[in-house]
Every structure is written in structure tokens, then in C-alpha cells.
Amino acid sequence: MSTEELQREQQFIDLLQERVTALRQEAEAMLRATIGQLSTHVQTRVEREASIAEQSADLAALNAVESGLCFGRIDLRDGSSHHIGRIGIRRDDHERTPLLIDWRAPVARPFYLATGYEPMGLRRRRHITTMGSTVTALHDEILDLADTTRSGYEDHDGDSVLLAALGAARTGRMADIVQTIQAEQDRIIRAPRQQILVVEGGPGTGKTAVALHRAAYLLYAHREQLARRAVLIVGPNPAFLGYIGEVLPSLGETGVLLATPGELFPGVRASGTDTPAAAEVKGRIAMAEVLAQVLRERQALPETLPGVDFEAEGRVPEPALEIDHSEYGILLLGREMAYEARDRARATGLPHNLARPHFAFRIIDALTEQLADRLGADPYGGPNLLGPDDLAQLGKEIATSAEVHRAIDLLWPALSPYELVADFLAEPEGHLPAEEAELIRRTGGEWTTADVPLLDEAAELLGVDDSAERATAEAERLERIAYAQGVLDLSAGSKTYEFEDEESEILAAHDIIDAERMAERHEEEDHRSAAERAAADRTWAFGHIIVDEAQELSAMAWRLLMRRCPARSMTLVGDPAQTGDIAGVGSWRAILEPYVGDRWQHARLGVNYRTPAEIMELAARVRRASYPEFEPPRSVRSTGVPPWIRRVSDGELSAAVLAAVARERPEEGRLAVIAPRQLHGRWESIGGPVDLTRSVVLLDPRQAKGLEFDTVIVVEPALFTDSDLYVALTRATQRLGVLHSRDLPEGLV
């Protein structure tokens, strides 16, 4: 019977493989056909390009999920059964009946939640292990104890599949957990979208995996909304994003934007570095008001504008602002005029650059009035001799004067976020205490991660005056309409008039479409995905945002993220005990209360799936040295291998690390050396750019956040902060070693 069960599942996998192959071939054929059908006609090209993008995405999803496509089966008490997989597949029959159920579908939920106490209508749950398309193992859990049928593959403790996954060698890339999602994780994954959900948990509790599977679930359950608005996933560093980058594609989801906090301002990829103290200053919420004050100062009137006193020849004493108009002589821009224009611009409540036209219009109007008074004055004291047309012409000349625009630029300059922030960082004194100003002072150089929220705040204060672009776009639209009307007129003129006395039954182009609609159809469309468009648009409103290591972000970074999601649909993942950045807010309430009050949900994961009990005990001891009340997450497994700690002299440390790497390197899997950044130069052979697919990698604790390795060697723990040491000690899934030349921190002794 056991052999028959294995053969039966193998037959199903073979059938599934045939169907996937057929679907892939069909998608490839459609893609080739669509490419072949491209024509020079604008509308045809637009439609074909859109079809190519859609078909390419379908093909990419099929290729991504093929490995391990089916991983389970549920047998119901009514005699029916369903195979569960990473995506849904339908049979190629008239009814299009399901062949494979998507793990996110409601009917698949008992696979994750059913227990012997609450079987949810199941009599059996089967885990199917495959290598490629070959079934290698079956594990059955009996949920209906009254059912005496046995397959020979019963898993009596029910944890074999989970423990096998936890003990598997690491590859340098996070694997999905879709086959082993636990009940507490499933409830978080399927929680409602329209809320801020905080997922807290210690090292190894699966926070990141749960967040990624939540993204996949939300994209499945709210496909229409999220396909249009996109999902943003924010991770702490590029290495982390590379580590998690294959999880969502393996679940058939590719329309997600992954970014670090330093990549959240379009056009900027932060590559500079701040000191922790400088980053903390820049990250304070008070910086929002500081930048607003910097901008107000840029709107202040220069000292060269006293009240205007006219002399006989119409000139003003220096240092008044004079505008030399080549045709009409000197125009006088006085302080009172400038104050009035500034007050009007500020009264609009618009951002600086959007208020600038209001300032400029008032200046132009005032100068036009001044010029009209000069040119049209009646020598006998009567009304102005200039008519409306004369005044309009004078206004046009003033509005096109280069000298006038130079004066407007002096008083209300058009500014970019880069200019405003760079000028502030070059001269921060006057806005901050002297010591803090010195910390952040910088002239030139690369933008840093802490600068990105400042740039975003500046962009919000300044706004973008796109009136010229909109005017150009409107002119192009009218031009397309005029061209389309010409085409329709030609079409109408070419009809046959042989039967002009009879009403023709043949429809011409102008009978079914007007010029405006025809022009719209011929307009070039943007075929970038929502994620690609969102990456280039600072004002994009995401459908959902997931933030990993959320406790590390500064108050200003949260201000940026809240702008990106006005609907406040977010999943925040983190562990306050691992807060390493002094700019980090740390407290969930402090993060969220300014934006949503108490309208957020908190979920805690308390089971450690990654870290063996022996290693977790050591890490908890270190943590309790500073926080006696600390309670670590409960480890589900033990390896029987305790961590080792070895002291060497400073001169022996470099050689000792290399020797430990050679000794501890696993035959399969990955080893990480986690050492203070200042010591990395000692081990050039294992250093360099972070590549997690290498068998050995050198990291500092911040780079190691969120990652896991089979073996970890921690070097000089005395140079780590408490939270960084806790992070470093909890990255290993199998073995941990500590090498040191300095005295050990309390808890490691």
C-alpha cells in the first residue's frame, strides 16, 4: 500500500508537470505570436506591447514556481481531496476544474490550521516532498482518529517536515515557508489589509518570512487594487533585499518594489555614510520644522530693499532694487511691493514652488501698474490715457523681461530639494545647537541614508511646479486631435457618391469615432509595471507597505513612509530588543501614535524556528546582563552542540579566525564571520562586497540583520553594542563560535 501511495502521488506530479509544460509552451507561443504581429500602426503597437508585458509576466511566474510546485494534499471526510501548491493550476477541460489549489485560497486554509482537536473537516493532511519533479517522501498526519485507513507514511509527531526544513543547509537565499506555515503565522498572513499590523518577535521567529507571505497573500486576495497601486517592501540593506529577493517570485508574485530606506527618494541611491550621532540628529522629528524655517529664510527679503523714495528723475537711492527695462528705463521694485507679493503667495497655502507663480504675478502686475502710471499719465490730472489693450501689451512685455525674472528669482527663487538640503547641511548653524550643527555639517559628498527623509521633507515643502510641462502636454494633445480630425475629414471626403440620393448603409470612420477619442487611442501608453512607475514617482501612494527591521527607522523616515501610504495599510516587522541604531524610534507606540493614535494591531511571534536552544540560551544570558527581565523566544529544536568560546592574543586573532573558518566551514551551507567593521581589513581573503551565495562571508552586525547561516563565528564581542552582540549571536542555525582577545562582555564569561 505504501508503494502504491507513492506511485499515485508521483503520477499526479507527472500530470501536473505535463500541464505546467503545456502552459509554458502556450505562453511562449503566444509571446512569439504577439511579437510577430507587431505593426507600424500606433494602436496595434500599443496593444501588442501591453500583451507582451502581460504574457512575459505569466511566463516568468510559471518558470519561478515550477520547482516544488505541489507540496501537500488534504483529504476531506466527504471523500474529496485537494492538492495544494504555490500557485493555482486548472485542468485543460471544458469545466476548467482545479488541478492544483493555490495555498492562499480559502479551501487550502485547513492545510495550515487543522488539528486533531479541530480538524476543520479533514481526515488527513499530507506533506509531499519532491526533488525536481520526483516525489521523494510523503508525511501523513491523521486528523480523524476514527478513520482506520493507513497509508504507511504516517508522521506520528507531526513535525518531521518542519524540522527537516529547519535543519536544511542554507543557500544564501531565503526560501519560502509555504509548506510549513504554522497556525500563528497563518493568522498573521491572512489578517485584514486595511490596518497597520505590527508583527513583533525575537530572532528566528519567522517575522520576515511571515511578512513576505503576507505580501503574497494580499496580492492574491486584493489583486485588482494592489496590482494597480503596488506593494512596497522596505529592508535594512541591499544584502538583505538580495537574500529575500527570490521568495515572492517562488510564490508567483513579481509585481513588488523592494527598496532600502536609502532608495526611497527617486533619483537618489544613498551611498554616503553618517556617524551614528549625525544620523540621530538628522532623524529627529524636529528636523521637519528646521527645514521649514530654512525655507522661510529663503523667502525673506534681502536687506537691499528699503522703502522707495522717488527723486525728480524717477531714480531711488542705493541700495534699492532697480530693474533696468531696456525700452522703458528703470522700474522700481520696493519693499512694500515685495512684502505684499510674498504675503499673497504665502496666503495660498501652497508649497514654495507652486506658490511662486502667485508671487511672480503680483510683482508683474505691480510693475505693470507702475509703468502704466509713467507712460499713460495725463499731464492735466485726468484718468490714465492707456486703454485695456495697451495695459495688456505692457503686461506681456513686463512678463517676458529677463530683468524682471531675475528680480523674481532673487526674491522668491525656484528651489530643488537637493539645493535646499545641501545648503542647510553646508551651514546648519543658526538652526541647531553648535555641537549638533558641527555633527551634520557637510559640503558636497554623497547623500546618506539619513539625508533621504530630509530630501523628501524638502520636496514636500517645495512642491513641483509642472505648469510648463502640463501646458506642453495640452498643446501636444490638441495637435494630435487636429491631426486626427484631418484624417477623419480625408476619410469622409473619400466616400463614394454614386448613390448620393440614397442613405448609405456603409459606416465611415467619422460615424463611429470622433477626433478626440481617436487621438487618445493613438497616444503613447506607459507600459511599465506599477512597481516600476512607483519607483520613479515620489508622490506614489502604495496599496500596502511592509517594513522589515522597522524598529531601526528614525522619526523622519517614518514621516516619509506615511506619505507613501495615505490609506495606512502597512505591516511592520521588528524586534525592539534588536534596535541597534540610536536614531531608531524603538517603541511601536512612539512610531505610530502621531499618525494613527491607537488604531493599530499588535501580534507577537514567540517560537524560535531558527536558533537551536543551546545557542539561544547563550544569547539570552548576554541580553539579561543588561535587561534582567528579558524573555527570549522558545526554540523548537536542539542540536546537542553547545557554542564554543576561545581567547587568543591580539597578534594571534587574524590567524585564529582563518583557522576557525577552515575548521568550521560546513560541507553544505554557509558560514558567516561577524566582526567589527574596523577589523575587516585583516581578512581580505573572505572580505569584499557582500555575496551571500559564497560559502563564507564577512559581515558586521548591522549587515547581518535578518540573515541566517549554518555556522557563525563572532569576533571580538567586546567591541559590539549590546543589541549588535545579540544580533550576531542569533544568526546561526547549527553552530556558533566566539573568538576574542579582549575581555568578554558580561553574560559571555
Query: Residue 155: its pLDDT value, please?
Result: 79
Distance CA 25, CA 709 (A): 38
Please say whether the beta carbons of 302 and 477 come within 8 A. no
Q: What percent of the chain has pLDDT above 90? A: 55
Distance CA 485, CA 561 (A): 46
Residue 383 has pLDDT above 90, yes or no: no
Query: Residue 48: its pLDDT value, please?
Result: 46
DSSP states along 713-727: EEE-GGGS-HHHHHH
Which band of pLDDT confidence, cut at 50, 70 and 90, is reported for residue 312? very low
Residue 405 has pLDDT above 60, yes or no: yes
Distance CA 70, CA 111 (A): 13
Quote the cell numbers at residue 397. Answer: 512685455
Please say whether the beta carbons of 77 and 123 come within 8 A. yes
Query: Residue 468: its pLDDT value, please?
Result: 58
Single pTM value for the model: 0.83
Residue 53 has pLDDT above 90, yes or no: no
The DSSP call for residue 743 is P
DSSP states along 5-30: HHHHHHHHHHHHHHHHHHHHHHHHHH
Q: Is 329 left (phi over 0), alpha (psi -120 to 50) or beta?
A: left
pLDDT, mean of residues 668-675: 95
Quote the cell numbers at residue 499. Answer: 448613390
Query: Residue 184: its pLDDT value, please?
Result: 93
Return the minimum-mean-pLDDT range out of 5-19, 408-422, 612-626: 5-19
Query: Residue 41: its pLDDT value, please?
Result: 46
Return the minimum-mean-pLDDT range out of 221-235, 350-364, 569-583, 705-719: 569-583
Query: Residue 318: its pLDDT value, please?
Result: 39
Please say whether the beta carbons of 95 and 46 come within 8 A. no
Q: What is the pLDDT of residues 466-499, one digit of tens each?
A: 565 566 666 666 776 776 677 666 655 555 444 4
Q: What is the pLDDT of residues 277-288, one digit of tens each?
A: 999 999 999 999
Higher local confidence (pLDDT), 397 or 673: 673
pLDDT, mean of residues 534-544: 95
Residue 347 has pLDDT above 70, yes or no: yes
Query: Residue 315: its pLDDT value, please?
Result: 42
Query: Residue 319: its pLDDT value, please?
Result: 40
Selection from 306-320, 356-370, 449-463, 629-643 with the highest mean pLDDT: 449-463
pLDDT, mean of residues 31-39: 61
Query: Residue 498: its pLDDT value, please?
Result: 47
Query: Residue 473: its pLDDT value, please?
Result: 62
Q: What percent of the chain has pLDDT above 70? A: 81
- Mean of pLDDT over the chain: 85
Query: Residue 578: its pLDDT value, please?
Result: 84
Residue 732 has pLDDT above 50, yes or no: yes
Higher local confidence (pLDDT), 270 or 35: 270
Please say whether the beta carbons of 709 and 670 come within 8 A. yes
Distance CA 326, CA 250 (A): 69
Query: Residue 145: its pLDDT value, please?
Result: 79
Selection from 139-148, 295-304, 637-646 with the highest mean pLDDT: 637-646
Query: Residue 462: its pLDDT value, please?
Result: 97
State phi, psi for 285 to the nearest 5 degrees. Answer: -65, -25
Quote the cell numbers at residue 589. Answer: 507606540
Query: Residue 730: its pLDDT value, please?
Result: 96
Residue 308 has pLDDT above 50, yes or no: no
pLDDT, mean of residues 96-111: 93
Residue 317 has pLDDT above 60, yes or no: no
DSSP states along 417-458: HHHHHHHHHHS-BTTB-HHHHHHH---SS--BTTHHHHHHHH
Distance CA 291, CA 457 (A): 8
Q: What is the pLDDT of residues 238-277, one digit of tens each?
A: 999 999 999 998 888 888 999 999 999 999 999 999 999 9
Which band of pLDDT confidence, cut at 50, 70 and 90, is reported for residue 350? very high
Q: Give me the count of residues in the chain.
A: 749
Quote the cell numbers at residue 274. Answer: 553618517
